[in-house]
Structure 1
Amino acid sequence: MSRIKTKDGTEIFYKDWGPKTAQPIMFHHGWPLSADDWDNQMLYFLEKGFRVIAHDRRGHGRSSQTDIGNEMDTYAADVAELVAALDLRNAVHIGHSTGGGEATRYVARHGKGRVAKAILVGAVPPVMVKSATNPGGLPLEVFDGFRRSLAADRSQFYLDVASGPFYGFNRPGAKINQGAIQNWWRQGMMGGAKAQYDCIAAFSETDFTEDLKSIEVPVLVLHGDDDQVVPVADSAMLSSKLLRNSELKIYQGLPHGMLTVNADILNPDMLAFIKK
């Protein structure tokens, strides 16, 4: 199993498949998951001839269950260390949800000269929490509720999220995918409770406005209009306006976890953007 050790001694687990001479695509997973959440996309793009890389964020999956550095600056710095270790160039960075924030900060602060394009899917930027400057955001009480539920019974909380709003399985007539629910729970429970607790503030309170404004490479912004986790009006709609060179695609009726349950729709759209 492949790992690097960061400057502060944290071990970051990663997968690196495909020809080392091929264009690399690096995937950034959502909270509280792992690189395994990208299995479908990694196999799809590998078959298309790309080199595919996915890592477990610190505190998540098979990386160190650290109690430090569980915030976006360090997440992005960890990615920069991994990218440097693998010497990735002309790379496409694809981030989902919290991973969309991580990818945004990495590309903005560390990616110059190494990044060709980026794709944000159901991503948290510009900022999720409601404030005077972000009146359309979610109240802090929502995220306080996440923290209380995680601390009280993390296992049940993760089952509730996966079987309900994440994949839209709480919608009338939804086709329930029990395997997706169990896999979401499995990934979440692999990580450390402290890191995942801290990450709630990282994904909800970090302001990516200046990061988005500074990114020069083309960015594809994808979002479902039935996203119950990261509402589209206060995320994709705003991010696409802040980015210098963006394309926005909104999917009618699709949920936050559409990369898993609607991979057949999203994968070809991402491929078409990468090949432009």
Structure 2
Amino acid sequence: MLVELQKVAVRLADRTVLQDVNMRAGAGDYVALIGPNGAGKTTLLRSILGLQKIAAGSILFTSQNGKQSTRPHAAKIGYVPQRHDFAWDFPISVSETVMTGLYAQLGFLRRATQAHYKKVYAALQQAEITDLADRPVAELSGGQRQRVLVARALVSDPELLLLDEPFTGLDMPTSDGLQTLFGELAKTGKTVIMTTHELIGAKNSCSHLCLLRGTVYAMDTPAALANNARAWQETFEIAREHQLLAALGVK
């Protein structure tokens, strides 16, 4: 899926959070939204999802079959929220949790069919958690819970996958495993956009980095942005000699 944002602005109460945001991501792209706290990263994801009304500009979705729409609900979008936004103490199994990703198709009165269960199993396979299918979600580790949320987002076979801080609170091996999983999903033709503070991992794994602080200061490949110190300085409001730039290999 191709998603295009043109001159998008978002206001929350009396404050402008995003202004003149231009961004473009297509099939196979793995994009990291990078910026300091309060930069508007989660707000941008919510705007793409249609959960946050935009004050100006446009967001256009073009599906793999060429159909275009400005309505998020008409697009095939999967969303992985931050882990703390899910009720993990609810008495429900992993497979039942993943099935909730099909509620839009099932409705409240229809029973799940064999076809729906096949979709759940396929999503569990993609997220590499088939062995956890019958486990209560309350018993899972942080990394396992993150994979459950990914499987729930994948069960509807989205063309666009949005991830909000998927690595927060996870150890390095778990984060690395998820980075690999998201990269593999992009290789299958999905468009993957995530917010993250894991800058080194994003630089090494993502196809594109989008530097955001209220607006997009730059969006390009990690290699290209390694030669754009000014964009990093403006995004994070840091000096040219800051250790962050040295750690990222920015010249």
Comparing both structures, which one devotes a greater share of its residues to helix? 1
Comparing both structures, which one devotes a greater share of its residues to strand? 2
State the TM-score, normalizing by the size of structure 2.
0.30
Q: Please tell me whether Structure 1 or Structure 2 has the larger radius of gyration of its CA atoms.
A: 2
State the TM-score, normalizing by the size of structure 1.
0.28
